[in-house]
Structure formats: structure tokens, C-alpha cells
Structure 1
């Protein structure tokens, strides 16, 4: 097999040559001139209340106010997976911060002043903030009309309750599995909500011209999905898909918070009432916390049975997910997590109940890891504890039960090829597992924690990717795709894939950012599937272009196409050693024959990719019979933690992570992703903590009170390890790893803490305060 020239090489990020502007800055730079209007929303102070009346008269009197809109102007449902949300609240509000009205004015200060004059009369209603309480019979209903909402066929809402979706997984015989066990252990783990904390806040500009054509400029992970939702929700106004355009500049951080549709719906809707005027919406940091997706919280109870030799016999996991007031995207987090809630273990008898619960907190949605960080905190804490109860080494316990190729997944399908055992062994070696470390400071203790993990792309069965590829006169290439560069090195990876097929340097390829009028379809830049899915589309587009080139050569020179190949930007022939035609001579102008006529012409490749074996339509009572996930990416991680026994302060001395990337298209980017992702995960464990009062008001919607780490909080040493077990249907064997690096963070900290000082913390975050109080009070467990 010919050695790969560009794929698998540490290529310098080609996107560094671009001026990277996030949308917040980008929309300020657009030259809309004096026609640019500004919108300010009016937000609910109540978590749950009826709207009695809205008085906009005083606001409308302010000079410079162009229009004040309320729910009556846009009485339309929307939602990606569950249509349970309105652009503006209709008869009631369901969380603090929900949008009730908006003022459109000629400048920001006027819009803000007028918004303060909008008078809304409310009648408070009982609110509910805990997902377990929301599940109880007689609980306040957040959505009494739940049974009437449209939703995707793989959601199973329970009308007349707060259960927006109930994913059930049943495999084997659970009672028999527990009867066979020598040890049964049960406990509960809690993970709170988290904010995405992108440095760039959400911002958007929308324009509706006099012909009803809507254009939205916004930072987005989902330009085509946004266009689709905009067209659907505004269809009563006569809008259809050809009338909606979404243009996306570079994104200043996403992590899932810029997937789907949140505030962007305002940029599509508001301009329709002021045609010809672009309207700008720019969130404050506090609005970023409230009015974009938050990561779902969860209360999870796990019961596991094992034999004396460590074999897992039975697994019963119930997860109450706090999805907030609207679950139009968040319910898919619950769905995905439920299907994979065993973690990367081989378990014969399984019962999983993943419940998506409505509460009166802000809507939950996608966040890097898509529920796996939360569910694996419980699993990996639990398996470590069970190993110790068996007097068995935790790494040996995990290695013994770790899933392998061909093993049965929770929903009955076979596990894909993977290098999980190799990841375990390499991490154990790098962290010097089994070698106890002692601190030179008598007031400090050192412990080690270990975890294995997995994640599958959470996506509909028909999620697809497409790519256009066109040559220029000098044989440089432009690739048009609609996946987004959000810091993961996507542009470079796509250039490398095309370069490998076309045998031209990656720096001669430009990957263009999305514009839904120009670029082909992409579902969303989520789920760690872009390298795999869009990479396949780009590869197919490059192959298509190559075949067109060979066809032109055959027609012009009468050479068989199977004898032709590309080498360093030239067409060569296996049967004629001296035959070499540079691409730049033929890819635009074609090939001139002896009679002066031409063959070929401009080369434009097209490629698409859609997995053909997936199906979400398993039995709703067991999840057996479908094939909901395309594959799993697996890994292992460990860290060495130093704990101050007097204060509870913790410091990560060393962290190691190994992930099976299938094939690392750009090893340098993969390692950078692993380091950055693990640090983001550690932030959610040791620093970040969303605090609400008893009325559902967020107490720390800012970077002063909501702590995120700085450069001073980085571990002393981070070791990323790439494992490569090829994915059969991946481009050159690749699969995605973007979300995975942060998934094991919580459990490796919790496990290392217990190893160091004997304290088991069963809820996040694991802060110095929590540890210090436990040490002071002599506690060995912290709920």
C-alpha cells in the first residue's frame, strides 16, 4: 500500500493564515450604514407565571423606537427535535430570563431604555427545579400540552407528566444477573448544570428585504439546520427554504452552545416586521448564561452486580435529567446518553431508564460530551468503588470488563473495532499505575485516579454531509463545505484529506466557510462526527474530481483510466514512464488535441456521505432492534492529584489520556484537542458551579462569580497518547475525537481524591471547599 503523504502528518494549521473574527465582532464590522437597527429583549423575572397583560405604550413613545413586538406577533412553535418552544412566551413564562417581548430601535441605548418601560403583569405559578421532584405524581406540570407537541419518532414523551422523553434500554435478564452476583452495590451521583463559557458571546444580524428574502449573519455550528428551522417557523409568513440564507463567520467558541437555535431565531423573525432594515441582537454575558443552552444536570442512581472475579453480571441505571423549561434539543442528549449508559463495558443484563424531565430552569442542550461526561462520572466512580470492595485493582477490573470488537452493545448491535485495551495499558504505564507516590510535604497527600470512556456520535440516522471541490487555473483548490471550524482544526483536516487524493500540498487548498446559498448541505458541526462524515464527503469529492481528470486524459490521449495516477500534482501513467501532465495545464482549460479541439474543461468535484446502516426505530420499551449509533470512539485517562489535607486545595500534577482516533488525520491537532478538552473537563470538576436561588434565579451569571480556570491552573504535565485502530468506514480509517477528551475528567479527579485522602465525593463540582469541610469533619463520603 502506498504510504500516506499528507494524512497522518503533523501539518501546521492552515486556518492560521486567516483573520479570525467571532460573530460578536463581525456583526459590528458589517457596513450596514444608518439602516442598522438594534433589538433589546424583555425578559421574565419569574420562573413560572401566567402572562396577564403586556403594555408597550410607554416604550413606543420613546423617540428612536421603531417597533415593539410580543408573542402575539409570532405565535409559532419551533424546535429541532421537539416543537415545544415559542419565539416569545405566549400565555406563560417557564424560566427566569425567558423572552417576553423585544424593542427594535435605532440605537442600543434607546432600545434598552424602551425595554425597561415595557410593563408585563404576571400571576406567579408554582415552580419546580429538581428533576426527581418533577417526576413525582402530582408534580406541577411545566407543559400541560406536552401530549400535543410534534416530535421526532424516536422520542417518547408522556403526556400529563413532566417526562418529555423516556429512553428505556432492556437487555438480558436483570433479576437473574443480580442473583448470579456475589456483590451488589447501589448509590446515587449528582452532576449540576454548567455554562459553555465561550469567550465570544452570541450575536447576530438579520435582514428581510422587500421581497421577503431573509439573511442571517451569525456564529453557528448549524447553519443549514438553522436555515431549516427559520423557514419552518416563519412559513406562516410565506417564507420557504429558498427565501432564507444563513452566513457564518468564524466562531469564537462553540462547545455545543452554538448548535441548534437559541437567540438566532430573533435575528430571523424580527427583521420581518421592519423590512429593509437589518436588525442586530447582541447578548450580554448574563444573557449568554440564561438564554443559550446550559449543560443538563442529572441525578443518577446506579445498581451493579459483580462476581468475585470482577465480572459484571447486572447493571441498573436510572438517570433523571434536568432539561429545563424547553427540551427541543436537550431531549436528544438524554436519548443519546440512555443508549450508551453502560459505558464501555461488556454487560449481559442491563436496565437503563434515562428520563428527560421538564423543570423551570433555563433550557438545557448540547454541551461538549453530550451527556457522556455526566453519566460516566457515576459509572466510573462506581466501578472503582466496586473493585475496591472486591479487593481488586480498579484498572484490572476495568480491563477485565472493557468492551471489545464484536461484543454486544446495550441495544444489541456489535461493537466496532477499537483499541480500548491498548488505551488502558498505555495510560496505566504513563501514569505509573500501582506505584504509590508520597509528597515531601507532610500536610499533602498524593493519589491517582483512572477511567475508561466512550462516546458515539449522537445524530439522526440520515444525518449527511456534502462537499463541492473546484480547481483554479493554477491547480489550487477551493473546497466548499458547511461544517464549521470551531477550533478543532477541521479546515486543516479537510485540506489534508483532499490533498492526499489529489497529491497537491494542503497549503494549496482553501476550505471555504459556510454560506447556505453557496455551500452544500451539512447537518451540524456536533457529535464529533465531522472528521468522519464531512471527511468522507470531501474524500468522495476529491475522488470525483480525480476521475473527471482521468476521463479527460483518456479521451485526449487514449490511455486507460486504470493505468493513470496522480503524483505531486501531475497525471502520470503506469505504462508510459515519460508521461506527465501537470494539473494546472488541464483542470480549467482542458486538453487541446492535434486538431485544435479541446477535451475536459473546468473540473468540479462533488461528494456526499450518509451512513446507510443506522436506524433509530428500535423497540421503545427495550431499544432492541435498531442501530442508533454509527460507531464509538474509546479511550482511557488518569491523573495524579495532590491534596492539601489542611485546606482541601487540589493540584493536578500529571494527567494522561489516550484516545483511539482510528487514524489521526493531523496528529498535532488531535493532541492539542486532547490537552484542551481535558483541561475544559477539569474546569467543570474543580471550578465551575452554577448557583440558583429558591426562585430559579441564577446567582452567578458572570465570569467574576462563575469560575473558569486560567493558565495558572493547568496541570504540571499533560500527556496525550494517540491510538489508531482504523474505523472501516472512516476516511483513511479516521473517527472523531473532539468531545471525548473532557469526558473522563470528573471521575479521575474523584477517584484520585479518594485514593489520596479516603474521601468519596459523589457530586460535582469537587471543590477545595467541599474537600476541606469533609476533611475537617472526618467524613469519608460527600453527597
Structure 2
């Protein structure tokens, strides 16, 4: 292949490094007004009265809205939220009212003039406690909500989805097990922390047409949600996402767009802009859900796991319209990348009065693997088996089956395991230190599939220009992962045109074709396949014309370096540019017209799992498997953890762009390190205590370890040129590998994230006290 597997420079690189790329908050439109939001100081309270009269009277204020202006519930999977609270507030910071004013300062003054009367309600601040029969209900009207057929809320409770897996006979497996081990783990809420804050502009024209400029990952998903919320036909809504400065899932759904649209409806012709503060980002955009996990495992004398019983309780926060699908993914992935014949899983999404849980890089896999991969090490210790060996024994291999009973035909997990074990020098111990610093090594496996409905579609258009260049139109968003470049390379390979001759356009629902969402590590796979199909359509048109021009049957034609040429006589050829607008005939007439290729794609043969057992032959499009190993150093006097080295290997099917994919993995490792030893939203009685970078820490350049990044390429049969996604899977094993390394270093198992210096010091002291 000429362009696939090559490190082509990023197509957006120059604009990004020079600052020429314009983000939504850079935009200043004529006659633009500025919005601000009145938010609840209480995590849970009835709204008794909202008085906006003083705000409306303030000079410079143009419009004020409350919940009565946005009565419709919205949600991609479960319609459980309105953009402004209507009857009560369910988390501290929930939007109650909004204003549009001539300046930001006036908008802020107006917000302070809005009077709200509340009746405080009991706060639901623990997901496990929220499951009790007498727990206060966050959503008493859950039974009235609309939701998809693959989700199972339980009205009259705080359960918004209960996903079950029942494979084999777990109780019989426990009776036959040589050893049974049960462990519990906890993962807290964390924040995405993208460089760019959420920002949006809304403008409604006098004919009722609505235009939204939004820093969103998924313009078509936003358009659909807004259509439902405001009873607008899709042809009257245009969503543009000009550039996204990082998302990690936090910009996948709708957030602030629905707040400014009612203002735009009242102020026809005037753009309304709202940009979140950093504090808003921490509290009022999606957070990664918390999770309580209990795993009971039965194993035979040879180290083969014969039965597992999982209980995953997810803290979905005040609204779980996205979280219900994360919990579903956690359920059907609950075996981890292991072949376990008997499995019982309850994966439960629970409402609390915490910030709204939503998609975060890994989509539940990082959370469950923190538990699964430590549990594997605990089993190994119980049996006296090396942690790598127990993974060799139980790791999925071709012909094995996963949690849903799907037979795995292709799996490079063990190849990845061996590569990482070699590069981390597994089994080689460091000599005892003469200082207070000790070292340890840990290893963890991981896997992930695209968590998406079975019928999600992607589309692509390729337009050939009369000079032999092309325009590629898609709606997969480049949020930093480099998809614009990878998709351009796929089109280049399919049409035999150099990448620099193809310009990609994305993110405009009026002008770029449909794309479900930029989530789930699916864009290279889904949009890439749609692009190949569009290029095949264009190729077929080119061949129809070329066979007339060259007098050669199209079955004997091939695309080569910008030409349609004979397979047999390569010198007989015609340039693509000479066919781009159709074919001119000797008599001066012409046929066909411009070449425009159209392509679409839906993952083949993906079907729902059984409602009661979670079993299914093919519930997802593909699985990405991998392993990471780490070496850490701990200062026993301070408890500080330094990650010195990380070895990583994933089976990606086919590397499209080596530089880009290495950057993806390195970024995933750093984000995984952050979740492992730094990051936690501290929430007390529903109130976030650390909503800023002063108190919420993320990794910096000083925390970069040595990284060895390798790949296995077992082609994905249905992937573009054999590729499968890795953007999210590469974060999944990092935190559990670090947790296992901490145990290796100090002999104490820490089962909750983050693994802070304070926790390590406490563990060391307790160990010394009990020794």
C-alpha cells in the first residue's frame, strides 16, 4: 500500500501550531449577545418560585428564560433531562434560568438579580445507598421517560439501567472451584479536562431556521437532541463544529446548546454566545461516572478461572441519559479479555445528586478493568502463579468466548502480552535500594469494543475536481486524535491520489453527510469504511467513462497515481482530471457530468444481546485487545509515586499512520496515569470541593515516563484496510497496571483510585504496625 501505514503529516497541523484554526470561542458575530446562567446552590431541592422580574428590568438585558421555555426532555439513550430545571434541581449547579445581554458583565449582574425559592430535599450521595428501598428518589417519574429497547430502567427506584449477564452455571462453578476469592474496588468521578472549554453560539433567523456553532464531538447527535427538545424539524437546524480543542467524550452530547436556543428564539436574528468557565467544566459538563465493584472468582488448581460473579454499581449522577449505555458496555465486557465459562454480572446505573455522568475515554472499560486486572493478580498470588502466567492461562485466544458467549475468531491478546512482558523486562528484579525509594512492576491486559447501537450509520462523499484533486466530506470530528489525517489517507489509498491533493471537510450538518457520533473509537472503522465505499462509487464512474475513452473493458482497468490505466498495458491510461467533469466525445458532446462518489456504512451482522441473559453471538462490531506493563518508584518517606517506564502493545489490525497512533497511545498512557495517581472529583454531600486546577491535578510534562509503544497487526476482516480503533483501549490497562506495580513495590494492595501519596503512606504504616 502506498499511503496506508505511512506517517503522513497532520492535515490540520499548520493551522493548529500557528493559531490560525478558529474555535467557537474565537468567533465574534455581528450584533452578538452574551448569555449567563442561574444555577442551583443545592444538590437536591424543589423549585418553589423563580422570579426574573428584576433581571428583565436591568438595562442591557434582552431576554430571560426559565424551565417553562424548555419543557421537553432529551437524551440520546434515555430522555431524562431538560436543559433548564422545571420542577426541582438534582445536582448543585443545575441550570434554572438564563439571560442574554449586551455584555458578559450585564449578563452576570442580571443572573444575580434572579430570585429563587427552594425547598431542600434529602441528598442522595452514595450509589450503593441509593439502591436501598427507602432511599429518596432522584427521578420519581422515571416510569414516564422514553428510552431505547436495549436499556432496562426500574421505575420506583434510582436504577436507570440494570444490565444482566448470565452465562453458564456460576454457582456450580463455585462448588467445583479449588479456591474462591472475593474483592471490592472503588473508582471515583473524574473530569475530562480538555484544553478548550465548552462554547456555543445560537442564532435563529426570522424564518425559523436555527444555526448552532458548537465545540461538540457529534454535530448530528446534537441536531437530533435539539430537534426533540424544541420541536423543530431537522431541515431547520444547522449544527457546525468548526474545531474542537479536546473532548475525550465530554463534548459528545448536548450541554450548553439547549440553554441558549430559547434565548435565540426570543431574539430572532441576534447570535447568543455562552462559554463555560473552568469551574463550569468541572461541575456542569459530563464527568466520568464513579463505580463500586465486587468480584467473586472461582479458580481451579491449575489457575483456570471457572466462574466469576460481578456486581458493578455505577454512580451515574443526576441524569444518566448517556450513562445507561456505559453501564451496558460494562456488563457485556465484564469478563475482561478472558475466557470464563461461567459468568454472572449485574451492572447497575444509579441516580444520585452528583454531577451528570457521561462518556469518558474508555467508556466504562477503564473502570471495570481497574477491578478485573487487580483481581487477576490477587488470584495469581493466592495460587502462587506468576501474574503473566495466569494471564497466559486465561487470556482470550481464537476460538474462545467472551462474556456474551460470542466466539472470538481473531485475538492478538497473548501476542501483546508477550511483547510487553519482554519490553518491561518482566521477572528481572532491581537490586535492593539503599535509599527510601523502592521499585515495582505491574502488568495489566485490557480490551474494548465500540459501544454503540447496532444500526448506527456513517456516510461519506468524495468530489473530484477538474485538476485531479478532491474534496472529502465526512462528519467524523477531529478532536485531536488525528482522524482528519487518517481518513484522508484512506481516501488517498482508495483513489490512488496523494493525500496532499485531498481536502477534508467535516462538522456541518447542512453540508457534510451523516455521522452518528465521534465516540467509541469508531471513526477510523466506520467513517473509513464509508469513505472506501464512496471511493468505490467514484471509481466505478471513472471506469465507466475510461472504458469508452480507452476502448478497454472496465474489468481490465485500475487506478494508478492519478490515472485510470490498463492492467495489461500500463501505458494506455487517462488522467482522473480528464474524467472529473465527465467525458468529452469527439463530436463535441459530453456524457455523465461531475464525478461524485457516495458511500455509507453500518457495521455488519451486529445484533442485540438477550434481555435476560446478556448472551449474543455478535453484540459489537469488533474488539481491540492489548496489554501494558509499568515500572514505578515509590518514595517510602513521602508516598510519592513516579511512573518510570510504560510498555504498551495493542492489536490494532492495521496501522494507518504510525506517528498518529503512537501519539494516541502515549496520550492514553498519560491520561491513565492521571486517573491512577492524581485525579478525583472530591464530592461531599453533593458538593464538588475541587472544581479548579488549583485543587484538581492532572499530569504534566514532568510526569512523562519512558514509553515503549508497539503494535500487533492481525487484520480486522470488516475494517478499512484491516484497521480497528485504539483511541480509547490504550488508556484502559494503565491504572490497574500501576496499582499492581504499587503492590509489587510495597506489598500492600490499594483498591481505590486515585492511588495517592497519602494512601500509600497510610498503607505502609499499617503494614509496619501489623508486621
Contact 2:84 2:259 in 1 (8 A): no
Contact 1:155 1:165 in 2 (8 A): yes
Contact 1:324 1:361 in 2 (8 A): yes
Residue in 1 aligned with 2:448?
455
Please tell me whether residue 294 in structure 1 is matched to residue 291 in structure 2.
Answer: no
**In the TM superposition, what is the alpha-carbon distance from 1:656 to its structure 2 partner?**
0.5
| Distance in 1 separating the partners of 2:318 and 2:386 | 43
Please tell me whether residue 632 in structure 1 is matched to residue 623 in structure 2.
Answer: yes
Please tell me whether residue 595 in structure 1 is matched to residue 587 in structure 2.
Answer: yes
| Distance in 2 separating the partners of 1:144 and 1:170 | 29
| Distance in 2 separating the partners of 1:391 and 1:23 | 58
| Distance in 2 separating the partners of 1:554 and 1:682 | 57
Contact 1:415 1:631 in 2 (8 A): no
Spell out, residue by residue over 1:530-580, the C-alpha distance to the aligned partner (whole angstroms, 9 max, x if none). 111100001111111111101001133331001111111111102334312
Please tell me whether residue 759 in structure 1 is matched to residue 748 in structure 2.
Answer: yes
Spell out, residue by residue over 1:500-520, the C-alpha distance to the aligned partner (whole angstroms, 9 max, x if none). 121111111111121000000
Residue in 1 aligned with 2:146?
150
Please tell me whether residue 693 in structure 1 is matched to residue 690 in structure 2.
Answer: no
- The SS at the match of 1:78 is coil
Contact 1:22 1:250 in 2 (8 A): no
Residue in 1 aligned with 2:106?
110
Which aligned pairs between 1:99-138 and structure 2 lie closer than 5 A?
A: 99-138=95-134
| Distance in 1 separating the partners of 2:24 and 2:263 | 16
Which aligned pairs between 1:324-473 and structure 2 lie closer than 5 A?
A: 324-438=317-431, 440-473=433-466
Which consecutive residues of structure 1, in runs of 5 or more, have no partner in the other structure?
none
Query: Kindly tell me: are residues 538 and 389 of structure 1, through their superposed partners in 2, closer, same or farther at Cα, counting changes over 3 Å?
Result: same
Q: CA RMSD in A?
A: 1.6
- Which moved further from structure 2: 348-357 or 706-715? 706-715
Match 1:18 to one of 15, 35, 38: 15
Query: Kindly tell me: are residues 20 and 353 of structure 1, through their superposed partners in 2, closer, same or farther at Cα, counting changes over 3 Å?
Result: farther
Please tell me whether residue 702 in structure 1 is matched to residue 695 in structure 2.
Answer: no
Which aligned pairs between 1:709-748 and structure 2 lie closer than 5 A?
A: 709-715=699-705, 717-748=706-737
Residue in 2 aligned with 1:32?
29
Query: Kindly tell me: are residues 378 and 201 of structure 1, through their superposed partners in 2, closer, same or farther at Cα, counting changes over 3 Å?
Result: same
Task: Output the TM-score relative to the length of structure 2.
Answer: 0.98
| Distance in 2 separating the partners of 1:628 and 1:293 | 26
- The SS at the match of 2:626 is strand
| Distance in 2 separating the partners of 1:628 and 1:345 | 17
- The SS at the match of 2:490 is helix
**In the TM superposition, what is the alpha-carbon distance from 1:22 to its structure 2 partner?**
9.8
**In the TM superposition, what is the alpha-carbon distance from 1:484 to its structure 2 partner?**
0.3
Contact 1:27 1:217 in 2 (8 A): yes
- The SS at the match of 2:42 is coil
**In the TM superposition, what is the alpha-carbon distance from 1:29 to its structure 2 partner?**
4.0
**In the TM superposition, what is the alpha-carbon distance from 1:595 to its structure 2 partner?**
2.3
Query: Kindly tell me: are residues 270 and 260 of structure 1, through their superposed partners in 2, closer, same or farther at Cα, counting changes over 3 Å?
Result: same
Please tell me whether residue 274 in structure 1 is matched to residue 267 in structure 2.
Answer: yes
**In the TM superposition, what is the alpha-carbon distance from 1:406 to its structure 2 partner?**
2.7
Please tell me whether residue 670 in structure 1 is matched to residue 661 in structure 2.
Answer: yes
| Distance in 2 separating the partners of 1:196 and 1:246 | 23
Which aligned pairs between 1:11-90 and structure 2 lie closer than 5 A?
A: 11-19=8-16, 26-33=23-30, 35-90=31-86
| Distance in 2 separating the partners of 1:264 and 1:441 | 58
Please tell me whether residue 543 in structure 1 is matched to residue 536 in structure 2.
Answer: yes
- The SS at the match of 1:778 is helix
| Distance in 1 separating the partners of 2:246 and 2:428 | 39
Contact 1:549 1:600 in 2 (8 A): no
Query: Kindly tell me: are residues 291 and 572 of structure 1, through their superposed partners in 2, closer, same or farther at Cα, counting changes over 3 Å?
Result: same
| Distance in 2 separating the partners of 1:137 and 1:775 | 39
Which aligned pairs between 1:207-356 and structure 2 lie closer than 5 A?
A: 207-235=203-231, 239-356=232-349
| Distance in 2 separating the partners of 1:161 and 1:339 | 23
| Aligned pairs, number | 770
Query: Kindly tell me: are residues 67 and 319 of structure 1, through their superposed partners in 2, closer, same or farther at Cα, counting changes over 3 Å?
Result: same
**In the TM superposition, what is the alpha-carbon distance from 1:68 to its structure 2 partner?**
1.2
Which consecutive residues of structure 2, in runs of 5 or more, have no partner in the other structure?
none
| Distance in 2 separating the partners of 1:30 and 1:745 | 38
Task: Output the TM-score relative to the length of structure 1.
Answer: 0.96
| Distance in 1 separating the partners of 2:121 and 2:20 | 38
- The SS at the match of 2:688 is coil
- Which moved further from structure 2: 4-13 or 769-778? 769-778
Match 1:642 to one of 614, 622, 633: 633
